[in-house]
Amino acid sequence: MPKQRKFTVAAGTVTIRHRPGKEPHVLLVHRPAYNDWTLPKGHLDPDEYEAVAAVRETHEESGVRVVLREPLGAISYPVGGGTKVVHYWRAEPIEASKRKPDKEVDKVAWLSPANALERMTYDDEKEVVRKALEYRQPSTAFLVVRHSKAMDRKNWSGRDQARPITARGRKQAKRLVPLFEAFGVAALASSTSTRCVQTLQPFAKQQRMDVDGWQVLTEEIGEHNAKGVRQLMKRLA
């Protein structure tokens, strides 16, 4: 029986710094073990979202805290007896601190697009950078999230809109907190259904934010008012 190839999943960013009246700059790191210039990236921790890993690894390797924007797809390449898949996002810096050089990363650089592409070691990463540079202006992420695990309808005798999330659902809601942080979520809008509001409450509590409830986003109303849902989505975006 042929041996199955092992897949390793990693995540990283193309972090682009925009300054008024100046050329954008791309964040690169130098790894002494490979003597290469590359995008910040790394492996996922157990049960970690790819997007969360991308933000964490960027900070660990460069000292730069970022928020994610557009997904840029993934690249893959052989590593040992398996395949490594790296997911990338375009990112914007929100804070930077000087990182002490170590055996993993000894240099961090902000370079113009032309200089970054010239210095980078890997052609497939260059293509990811070119794709990121197609987005000319800073943007804002808009996340659409389904509610976490709720009680089954057959086990609930009250109004369906009041149906709550379960213990499993509460765990899922807590897992969303670092994901929302990764994208810099700054406002929360929800269906007024209890299960939907409860899904956002852990993040809202941590950030001291309100959850704005909208009846038109409920299953009962939204299914019959697609125009109203579209109008609200445009307003929120």
- Whether 2 has a pLDDT exceeding 60, the answer reads no
Same-domain status, 161 and 106: no
- Give me the CATH number covering residue 222: 3.40.50.1240
Work out whether the CA dihedral 96, 139, 54, 103 comes out positive or negative.
Answer: negative
Q: What is the mean pLDDT of the chain?
A: 95
Q: Which domain holds residue 190?
A: 153-236
Is residue 36 domain-shared with residue 74, that is, in the same domain? yes
Residue 3 has pLDDT above 70, yes or no: no
φ, ψ dihedrals at 76, nearest 5° = -140, 150
Q: Residues 106, 202: one domain?
A: no
Are 128 and 161 members of one domain?
no
- Overall domain count for the chain: 2
Tell me the H-state helices in the chain.
50-62, 113-119, 123-133, 167-182, 194-207, 219-222, 226-236
Hey, what are 191's tokens?
């269906």
| 12 and 128 in a common domain | yes
State the Cα–Cα distance between residues 154 and 143, nearest whole angstrom: 30
Do residues 160 and 102 share a domain? no
- Looking at the structure, do residues 114 and 158 belong to the same domain, yes or no? no
Are the C-beta atoms of residues 65 and 59 closer than 8 Å to each other?
Answer: yes
The answer on 20 and 120 residing in a single domain is yes
pLDDT tens digits, one per residue of 30-70? 999 999 999 999 999 999 999 999 999 999 999 999 999 99
- Residue 161 and residue 126 share a domain: no
**Residue 233 has which token pair?**
């989505």
Lowest-pLDDT range, 1-15, 43-57, 86-100, 125-139?
1-15
Query: Residue 113 falls within a domain, yes or no?
Result: yes
Q: What is the pLDDT of residue 4?
A: 64
Indicate whether 145 belongs to any domain.
no
The residue type at 171: K
Q: Is residue 216 part of a domain?
A: yes
What does the DSSP assignment read for 73-138?
EEEEEEETTEEEEEEEEEEEEEEE-PPPP-SS--EEEEE-HHHHHHH-S-HHHHHHHHHHHT--S-
Q: Is residue 141 part of a domain?
A: no
Nearest to 28 by CA among 129, 127, 138: 129
- 186 and 96 in a single domain? The answer is no
pLDDT category, 7, cuts 50, 70, 90?
confident
CATH number of the CATH domain containing 40:
3.90.79.10
Per-residue pLDDT, 70: 96
Least confident stretch, 158-162, 186-190, 199-203, 226-230: 158-162
Give the mean model confidence (pLDDT) for residues 21-32. Answer: 96
Question: Are residues 10 and 94 located together in one domain of the fold?
Answer: yes
Q: How many CB atoms lie within 10 A of CB 7?
A: 11
Is pLDDT at 1 greater than 60 in this prediction? no
Question: Model confidence over 171-217: pLDDT tens digits?
Answer: 999 999 999 999 999 999 999 999 999 999 999 999 999 999 999 99
3-class SS of residue 141: coil
Confirm if 38 and 31 have CB atoms less than 8 A apart.
yes
User: pLDDT tens digits, residue range 80-102?
Assistant: 889 999 999 999 999 999 999 99
